[in-house]
Amino acid sequence: MSSASSTKDIDSEQEAENSANENLDFFAKHVSIRERFHHFTWAWFTMTMSTGGISNLLGAQPHSFSGLRTIGAVVFIVFIVMLAFNCSMITFRFISLRKSLQKSLTHPTESLFFACSWLSFAVLLLNMQNYGVPSCGEWLIVTLRVLFWAYVALTFIVAVAQYFILFQGGKNGKHMTLHSMTPAWILPVFPNMLAGTIASSIGSSQPPAYRFPILVAGVACQGLGFLISLIMTGLFLYRLMVNGLPHPRLRPGIFMAVGPPSFTSLAFIGMANNLPREYTYFVKDAIAVDVLQTLALVISVSLWFFGFFFFCIAVVACMAKASEMSFSLVYWAFIFPNTGFTMATIEIGNQLESEGIRWVATAMTILLVVVWVCNIIMQIRAIIYRRMLWPGEDEDRDVLRPSKDE
């Protein structure tokens, strides 16, 4: 009896699965490519900021070889192509669907990823400094200076506006709960925080009279972003203690907590090293630069270890449920925060003149490149098998269902 019953159960489950597949195939015939593109969300910019991060990381390697910089430049070109594609597709969505822009910016999930588009432009500026300035003339240095100040102003406005919308509870007045809290809550201020990293990068090529204001603004933005992220991190730890770890599919997002301390560590070292000894304040106090550089290194090592703690938590959390995880755009959190973590490792190794730390950073870079390639392959598969760009599967779910007047 039990054997016959189990056989019937298996048959019924198989019939249900076949029926579901038939319904899916039937539904697929009624979802055009144009309709699939309507589900192109801000979260796609996690791919571009991660690709740009890899490009920037390859250009900063302590152990290089002939052709490595060329490889980095090729990845930079791939990043530009991806960024142009994302901008085109998100524009197509907003033009095709009335009110979809407003809905995307007030959606409790998708709106958080709006910051990823700004982070992609931050990475663009970093790569322009890394690959463009050595090959171009004075015009690019001036361009970067202008773009930096525009970026600082716009990202600050975006941070204030996004948090204000979230505080209001979005369009429907529904507030987030602590149970749903993820490190993604940091994202609205993340672009402004990265102004410090940009300042630490472009400061080396700017004249002292322009460099000093850029560095001061970089310290201010980095401090703002890190302090807000520190508050959010405390909330996230409380959420983990009370409600446990997120769903397996969302666990790569834990790596976002690695980003703020890592990029702050990287920014502080870079800005301290670019301080103009011959300019105003530092002329009066000759040892100020040496003191600040030493202080930046000490703080950066502490922040690096803080980031390492969350890195380990994220790795263990993902490994514990690896068999239950499936690809989503959150997987790009494996890349971008850890590019900052690796860059900070490189800078600390350079400051301490430690060959061991540099080799650790090289090994980290290799792993990140492998994960980056795997992510691209998995994203292509997810699109083909309708797990992305599909009704109900993307970050816009329950938002872009057309109403009667659309």
The structural domains of the chain, with segments of one domain joined by +, span: 33-384
Q: Measured between alpha carbons, how far is 221 from 26 in angstroms, rounded to an integer?
A: 52
Q: Is the pLDDT of residue 5 over 80?
A: no
Tens digits of residue pLDDT in 203-249? 989 998 899 999 999 999 999 999 999 999 999 999 999 989 988 88
**Contact of 120 with 55, CB cutoff 8 Å:** no
pTM of the model: 0.86
Q: Is the pLDDT of residue 103 over 90?
A: no
CATH class for domain 33-384? mainly alpha
Q: Is the pLDDT of residue 169 over 80?
A: no
Confidence of residue 172 (pLDDT cuts 50, 70, 90): low
**Residue 283 tokens, joined:** 């002329």
Q: Measured between alpha carbons, how far is 401 from 31 in angstroms, rounded to an integer?
A: 13
Q: Is the pLDDT of residue 70 over 70?
A: yes
DSSP 174: P
Number of Cβ within a 10 Å radius of residue 216: 13
Tens digits of residue pLDDT in 183-194? 888 999 999 999
Tell me how far apart the terminal alpha carbons of the chain are, to the nearest angstrom.
Answer: 56
Tokens 């201020």 identify what position? 189
Q: Could you tell me what percent of the chain has a pLDDT over 90?
A: 62
